[in-house]
Amino acid sequence: MSTASRGLTVKQYDRMVERGILPETNRFELIEGRIVEKDVKNLAHPTATRRTMRAIERLLPPGWHVRKEDPVRIPNRRSEPEPDLAVVRGDDDAYEDRHPGPQDVALVVEVTRSSVAKDRKLARVYGRGGIPVYWIVNLPRRRLEVYSHPVPVAPIAGAYPPPTILGEGESVDLTIGGQVAGRIAVADLLPRRP
């Protein structure tokens, strides 16, 4: 199969960014070889993103930090998504000359208002790309969808099993590097009710 029919590689996409071929609006990301436009965020999105980031940061063990809307390289899936949040190994200095890859990432989080189906499709990219845990903070349903433990064997190697769905009255384990760092109430990730 030719590169043209499979889409761009992460390396090709990065060269386009470096050469200024893509506008510097930060409105695009690479998903499975295609350049896609990122969704516009409504009022609840930044609130939920900040609340989720603070809840995670309170429990992070030393040697990890949270990145917000920064690229994560997933070369084997021809993807460089920019999740709302990513928990990565090391500090910011570790990524001066590269983006974190699956070996560096413990968790990615997408906060969704209207793009739930699109974010669920990203589970395929994250799971098969080697990301151990993926959360969708589902604002309309006021719940958390937890995708974890990608299946290691064929025919669905790397795919996540069906997600665990947690309501706002429940809590989730924050797992970092295979260890539970603590528990977070789902309600702490969501904006207050109107």
HEC sequence for 39-65:
CCCCCHHHHHHHHHHHHHHCCCCCCEE
- Report the number of distinct structural domains present in the chain: 1
Q: Would you say residue 35 lies in a domain?
A: no
The pLDDT, as a whole number, for residue 25 is: 64
Q: Would you say residue 14 lies in a domain?
A: no
The pLDDT, as a whole number, for residue 4 is: 43
Task: State the residue range of the domain holding 68.
Answer: 41-189
* Nearest to 49, CA basis, from 104, 112, 99: 112
Provide the whole-model pTM: 0.82
Q: Would you say residue 33 lies in a domain?
A: no
- Domain with 142 in it: what CATH number? 3.90.1570.10
Q: Would you say residue 138 lies in a domain?
A: yes
Q: Determine how β-strand 143-148 pairs with β-strand 164-167.
A: antiparallel
Q: Would you say residue 91 lies in a domain?
A: yes
Walk along the chain (194 residues) in steps of 10 and give the mean pLDDT of each run: 60 77 70 73 86 98 96 90 96 92 96 87 91 96 95 73 96 96 97 80
Tokens of 111: 């906060």
Q: Would you say residue 4 lies in a domain?
A: no
Tokens of 31: 């998903």
Q: Would you say residue 29 lies in a domain?
A: no
Q: Would you say residue 28 lies in a domain?
A: no
* Nearest to 139, CA basis, from 84, 182, 86: 84
